[in-house]
Amino acid sequence: MNPEKFLLLYSNCLPVKGISRSVVVDTQRSQMFFIDNMLFDLLSEARQKKWGLLLDEYDEESQKVIGDMLDFLEKNDLCFWASDPELFPEIDLEWDAPALITNAIIDWNSRSTHDYPTIFKSLAGLGCRDIQLRFYEEVETDRLLSILYLLEDSYIKSVEFIVRYKDEYTKEFLNALVDEHTKIKTITVHSSPRDDAYRISRSVGVSGMGTIMLVRQEINSSSHCGLVSSDYFTFSTVQTFAEFKSFNSCLNRKVGIDVEGNIKNCPSMDRIFGNINTDRIEDAIDEKFKSLWHINKDQIAVCKVCEFRYVCSDCRAFTKDPRNLFDKPLKCRYDPYKMEWS
């Protein structure tokens, strides 16, 4: 403890205050640490006051508690002592991207007539780098391969597949597919006879590719979208944290194409902005389309007091009150008041 110095969190360690507790999100190590709200308040003042002056504002019993909290921060290498805070400015959490669209979801069933070359060309022109393809019915292996060959020389850098189980999808086949096509980020095989994971990539950033999972759950429509779970927390980069803080963590810079070719913010949503069979995706991205991008967690009921709000996924397609676009996600089972998952 250094009473004559300032206690600072490392710039990649970002605190978030909730109604019942706070967290420190370490974006460099992709970890999250729980802290007491009293410590959050203390850290909020730590840039303006030396540690000794801060402690003087608390009674002896509280100082002992704070001492334990400080030990926790130091043990987990979250903080350091500085003589001049101005030499260690806080990280800039302004977010922007050099692309009108950064990610897309494309749904397919046996009645879909998607023109993938045209779709991928439009998405690449909009700056899209990541796409997810969801197949609700069995799809021919040749169709998957043709999509992958289309993407080989595309600006799009990663693709996620959600496909229905087939006997052809053996461990050897899936591993070979991922090895040959390096743009595959994940393959999730739904409606599988068992839950399994052939390979899991836990790398951070662009190298985090090649995950293969089998799940028993059947995914037969876009109604399965919108699950909010700690399994989907994202805290691997400062950029992601900054985006989630200011924009919608699901819909920002996203375009969705449903099984009928309708252009939407997300295939699960009702509002239609055109159809790929008659309209250009580029023309559908108007100001009304963009409006949902700006609904962030600080505006959403319950989410706005949750300590996980800047690392959590969101869903505006399914809310507790379907008439209220700012209500809590329907499929979130976390209670920030009780700090419990149901």
- Say what the pTM is: 0.92
CB of 307 within 8 A of CB of 14? no
Does residue 183 fall inside a structural domain?
yes
pLDDT in tens, the chain (342 residues): 789 999 999 999 999 999 999 999 999 999 999 999 999 999 999 999 999 999 999 999 999 999 999 999 999 999 999 999 999 999 999 999 999 999 999 999 999 999 999 999 999 999 999 999 999 999 999 999 999 999 999 999 999 999 999 999 999 999 999 999 999 999 999 999 999 987 766 544 445 689 999 999 999 999 999 989 898 899 879 999 999 999 999 999 999 999 999 999 999 999 999 999 999 999 999 999 999 999 999 999 999 999 999 999 999 999 999 999 999 999 999 999 999 998
Query: Do 25 and 118 share a domain, yes or no?
Result: no
Range of the domain at 313: 103-335
Does residue 98 fall inside a structural domain?
no
Which of 19, 53, 87 is the last residue in one of the domains?
87
Query: Do 269 and 177 share a domain, yes or no?
Result: yes
Q: Which residue has the tokens 């992601």?
A: 240
Runs of H (alpha helix) within the chain: 37-45, 51-55, 60-75, 116-125, 141-151, 171-180, 238-246, 281-284, 287-290
Does residue 61 fall inside a structural domain?
yes
Query: Do 318 and 238 share a domain, yes or no?
Result: yes
Query: Do 123 and 267 share a domain, yes or no?
Result: yes
CB of 309 within 8 A of CB of 303? yes
Tokens of 323: 């008439």
Q: Which residue has the tokens 């819909």?
A: 251
- In 74-206, at which residue ranges do the beta strands (DSSP E only) sit? 79-82, 103-108, 130-135, 158-164, 184-190, 196-199
Which of 46, 61, 87 is the last residue in one of the domains?
87
Query: Do 195 and 125 share a domain, yes or no?
Result: yes
Amino acid at 260: E
CA angle 332, 186, 280 (to 5 degrees): 85
**Domains: count for the chain:** 2
Does residue 340 fall inside a structural domain?
no
Query: Do 151 and 58 share a domain, yes or no?
Result: no
Does residue 303 fall inside a structural domain?
yes
pLDDT over 90 for what percent of the chain?
A: 92
Task: Check residue 199 and give its pLDDT.
Answer: 75
Tokens of 318: 């399914």
Task: Check residue 235 and give its pLDDT.
Answer: 85
Tokens of 152: 């080989």
d(CA 184, CA 122): 20
Q: Quick one: CA dihedral 134, 139, 140, 143, positive or negative?
A: negative
Query: Do 169 and 303 share a domain, yes or no?
Result: yes
CB of 301 within 8 A of CB of 316? no
Task: Check residue 203 and give its pLDDT.
Answer: 46
Q: How many helices and strands, by DSSP H and E, does the chain display? A: 9, 15
Query: Do 311 and 201 share a domain, yes or no?
Result: yes
Does residue 18 fall inside a structural domain?
yes
Which of 57, 87, 117 is the last residue in one of the domains?
87
Query: Do 150 and 273 share a domain, yes or no?
Result: yes
Does residue 341 fall inside a structural domain?
no
Tokens of 162: 């959600």
At 228-245, the pLDDT tens digits run 989 889 987 999 999 999
The DSSP string of 194-248 is S-EEEE-----GGG---EEEE-SS---SGGG---B-GGG---S-HHHHHHHHHS-
Does residue 93 fall inside a structural domain?
no
Residue 308 Cα to chain centre, angstroms: 12
Query: Do 62 and 114 share a domain, yes or no?
Result: no
Query: Do 20 and 116 share a domain, yes or no?
Result: no
Query: Do 76 and 152 share a domain, yes or no?
Result: no
Beta bridge partners of 315: none
